[in-house]
Amino acid sequence: MSTLPPTLQQIDRTYVLAAGRRLSYFAGCDYFRQSSHPRIVHAVHTGLDKFGLSVSASRLTTGNHPLYTELENSVAKFFTAPTATLCSIGYTPNIIVAQALAGSFTHALMDERSHGSLIDAAQFLDCPIVKFRHRDPANLAEKLRRLPGCHPLIMTDGMFSHDGSAAPLREYLELLPAEGMILLDDAHAAGLLGAHGRGTLEHANVPRARIIQSITLSKAFGVYGGMILGDRKVRAAILARSRMFIGNTPLPLPLAQAALTSVRQLAAHPAPRQRLMKLAGQVKERLRQVGFPLPNHPGPIIPVIPKSSRETNRWKRALLAADILPPFIHYLGGPAEGYFRFVLSSEHTAEQIDNLVAVFAAQTRG
Ligand SMILES: Cc1ncc(COP(=O)(O)O)c(C=O)c1O
């Protein structure tokens, strides 16, 4: 797409204002609507009053405010990770890790549908990049067989944003040669998947010893910024070697305060996560029952890939007639002609869900 889509404004947590209409919003990544939670909004105000806006300096010079350490400690505790390192933008953790570990691997082996931030990060690793088939351990094994003695960094999303599928982490770990590591972009699963919301590692029930987990604070946590979860060696390498980390002003302080509140809130209140995961299972089952086939992926994401522009327009008309924003997107890695990406949240009402299912039922029949 060479132009931006029409503007829209989020209102009332599960609705948007678009072209003058109030429409149900089944899109975005604010799974628990933390971005509009009163406690988190309040934290932005108090953070601004208490701390001001910006430290206006790198953390390695004079910008190392105690709030950043408090946030990192609380994220490390949430994810049970040895260390968490704050990055000011959710796109940058993978790049920061790659700058920190440049020269440590003989090859980068990357899922062919990896997010752009992993693709960009790989350029900093100083080693050849080999792509393997999407979520395909057998193909990864084949690529590794052709690289005897390699020390690879396997790079993959944890939960894929286009369809809510999860990377087969356990299988990847079984294939990982000695001295290899996995860089897991867990932007979409962090705070969402697993019994405690710790992401794809918890979902797959694997240890974190050989995995660097990068996350964003902008999706399940509804705020902004990113984090790198890894061992002490990874953190030391970031502080010593990542130009992007060293030469950057950290997150504005009110956002750090909001992120801290959001992490604590999700840790103390698992109910929204449990509600959403249950809802996602129920909605997918209802859609299967009305004749819409869906694989059993863990994420609350339902992709619809139209076969023609006629079909696209038919869906758009039906959704608008039901007061639902057509979540039709063009996104890197997705189908070139665009597709509908429906995302459920813990805050949608039963009426909104029934309405959505009715559209699917009518479209599947028609
Ligand atoms: C897999 C993945 N990684 C990283 C990011 C970047 O996160 P942020 O939008 O918080 O910068 C995104 C955002 O869409 C993403 O989907």
Ligand 1: residue of 216, 224, 229 to mutate (most ligand atoms within 8 A of CB) is 216
How many angstroms separate the CA atoms of 51 and 118, rounded? Answer: 33
Reference 242, options 117, 343, 126, 124; nearest CA is 124
Q: Which two tokens stand for residue 154?
A: 């396997």
How many angstroms separate the CA atoms of 109 and 152, rounded? Answer: 7
Q: What is the pLDDT of residue 1?
A: 65
Q: What is the pLDDT of residue 331?
A: 84
How many angstroms separate the CA atoms of 137 and 12, rounded? Answer: 43
Residue with tokens 């949240």, as numbered in its chain: 345
Q: Which domains does the chain have, with CATH numbers?
A: 9-31+270-365 (3.90.1150.10), 38-268 (3.40.640.10)
Calculate how far, in angstroms, residue 147's C-alpha sits from the geometric centre of ligand 1: 31
Ligand 1: residue of 92, 96, 117 to mutate (most ligand atoms within 8 A of CB) is 117
Q: What is the pLDDT of residue 287?
A: 97
How many angstroms separate the CA atoms of 112 and 132, rounded? Answer: 6
How many angstroms separate the CA atoms of 314 and 318, rounded? Answer: 6
Ligand 1, residue 29: give the atom nearest the CA: 14
Note down pLDDT in tens along the chain; length 366 residues. Answer: 678 999 999 999 999 999 999 999 999 999 999 999 999 999 999 999 999 999 999 999 999 999 999 999 999 999 999 999 999 999 999 999 999 999 999 999 999 999 999 999 999 999 999 999 999 999 999 999 999 999 999 999 999 999 999 999 999 999 999 999 999 999 999 999 999 999 999 999 999 999 999 999 999 999 999 999 999 999 999 999 999 999 999 999 999 999 999 999 999 999 999 999 999 999 999 999 999 999 999 999 999 999 999 999 999 999 999 999 999 999 877 788 899 999 999 999 999 999 999 999 999 887
CA 288 to chain centre: 26
Q: What is the pLDDT of residue 55?
A: 98
Q: φ, ψ for residue 192 (rounded to 5)?
A: -115, -60
Ligand 1, residue 224: give the atom nearest the CA: 10
How many angstroms separate the CA atoms of 266 and 199, rounded? Answer: 13
Q: How many CB atoms lie within 10 A of CB 231?
A: 15
Calculate how far, in angstroms, residue 122's C-alpha sits from the geometric centre of ligand 1: 16
- Using an 8 Å Cβ cutoff, are 57 and 358 in contact? no
How many angstroms separate the CA atoms of 132 and 107, rounded? Answer: 12
Task: Kindly report the protein residue whose alpha carbon is nearest to atom 8 of ligand 1.
Answer: 90
Using a 6 Å cutoff on CB, does residue 113 contact ligand 1?
A: no
How many angstroms separate the CA atoms of 49 and 210, rounded? Answer: 41
Using a 6 Å cutoff on CB, does residue 187 contact ligand 1?
A: yes
